[in-house]
Amino acid sequence: MHSPDQPKHYCGVFGIYGHPNAAELAYYGLYALQHRGQESAGIVTCDGQQFHEHKGMGLVPQIFDGAVLPKLIGNMAVGHTRYSTTGSSHIRNAQPLTVDCARGQIAVAHNGNLTNAAQLREELEAKGSIFQTSVDSEIILHLLAQPRDPRGESALVNTVRRIEGAFSLVIMTEHELIGVRDPHGFRPLSIGKVGDAWVLSSETCALDLIHAKFVRDVEPGEIVIINEDGLKSLQAFPAHERRAFCIFEYVYFARPDSTIADRNVYKVRVEMGRQLALENRIEADLVIPVPDSGNSAALGYSLESGIPYEMAFVRNHYVGRSFLQPSQLIRDFAVRVKLNLIGEIVKGKRVIIVDDSIVRGTTCKTRVNSLKEAGATEVHVLVSCPPHMNPCVYGIDFPDRSKLMAANHTTDEIRAYLNADSLHYLSQEGMVKATGLPRAGFCMACYDGNYPVAYDSRLEKNIMERRRARVESLGESIAKEARQPRLL
């Protein structure tokens, strides 16, 4: 269960080619990627002739029981675990999406968000395309099914060059498994091998679970095509040089046991905590994390500052989706049911609490109050990333600017709202330094407002309004026709 103050994950993608137990390995791959999406999941397999699929709402173990996997036959599979960034949370929007067209059967699993989705959808609908879902990923299927480009480009290359924004894709046809990464490299995508079988995965933690050997990352702009001849690589954007990997993967999204761009996520987060201590020296008795996302950074702060580290908050790992809304009597139930405080640890102590981010501030305020109610004499809030000032249009559920606390209030105003004795964020420079990679290779738009791919929200809004108007007009025409007298 996500707290209201945590950004939602986007999606996880997984694919395997050439293994007799493809569905089972895809299941375990999605299990390892569950943290990237908890609304729905799906697996599609291919036996060389037919696709077999199963999708559902909820968590991976709930969707794929012992009776389902044996029916997903074939040595090729593509899987997806989803949180809705574009499109509502509904079974029809669960991925992978499939189509049976003149080019054969195609399945697509997409991690990311297309910034030109509205324009492309309007163009395709004008040509007669009929959409079955509200997700931008379906646009990719329609483009793949288009006739061959007059310039001789393949449908795959033409599709990849037409879509814009963030996309890491795993595509399956009747004979191939394909991995694609956008030219900026917003989202991760790794290549692995288990025996002679090839694997594609959003994160390396899924490779570890199935004992697959990490080979390399898919490069930004690269298309990898895997078939009976092995792996073939081509670069769809040979002239593109700008890289923009989402730095929030290191801060929060990726699992700490994953490796991205040769950097272990856990080590990067510990270093972010060290940088936080170097920038903000505070006299205190304890450093405690907000489990689990603040664990690594809190440890780093403790190691650098010499202040003892304690796990004062205990997380309930069995919390799933709650269908009960918090009542007036227990307004912060959703927070307390997930984390419980060991009051004896903090009583009479000056406490530093470390979290990875503050988006809206509601849950952080509850935790500060819990500490003070338990007898903490001081509570200092430290955040292992800079203030979020801008919404994300590349697939993270950061709300619009009006709901981002740091975009509308000063640090001192936020501190007062949280009831904290002090509030400190990691600087942008400190965050980048912790990765050991150059700033030019990251997307940091949610912090600095520098969007690598242009996005016109007004154009998107105008297109959506025109679409709604067409639907309303069609509805009125149907109603009017229904009222007309008919000759029998």
How far is C-alpha 399 from the chain's CA centre? 14
Tokens found for residue 108: 């697509």
Exposed e or buried b per residue across 84-100, where buried means at least 16 C-beta atoms within 10 angstroms of its C-beta: bbbbeeeeebbbbbbbe
State how far the Cα of 369 lies from the Cα of 420, in Å rounded to an integer.
8
Helices and strands, number each (H, E), in the chain: 17, 23
State how far the Cα of 207 lies from the Cα of 258, in Å rounded to an integer.
9
To which H or E segment does residue 234 belong? strand 230-235
Residue 359 CB neighbour total at 10 angstroms: 22
Cβ neighbours for 403, distance < 8 A, ≥ 6 positions apart: 360
To which H or E segment does residue 56 belong? strand 51-57
The catalytic position among 11, 246, 364, 385 is: 11
Q: 172 exposed, middle or buried (CB, 10 Å; 0-12, 13-18, 19+)? A: buried
The residue type at 169: L
Tokens found for residue 472: 């309303």
Is 11 an active-site residue? yes
Using CA atoms, how far residue 149 sits from 101, 143, 158, 161, 162, in Å, is 17, 11, 7, 12, 12
Nearest Cα residue to 26 out of 173, 179, 199: 199
Residue 196 CB neighbour total at 10 angstroms: 9
Tokens found for residue 139: 């646009």
Residues with catalytic roles: 11
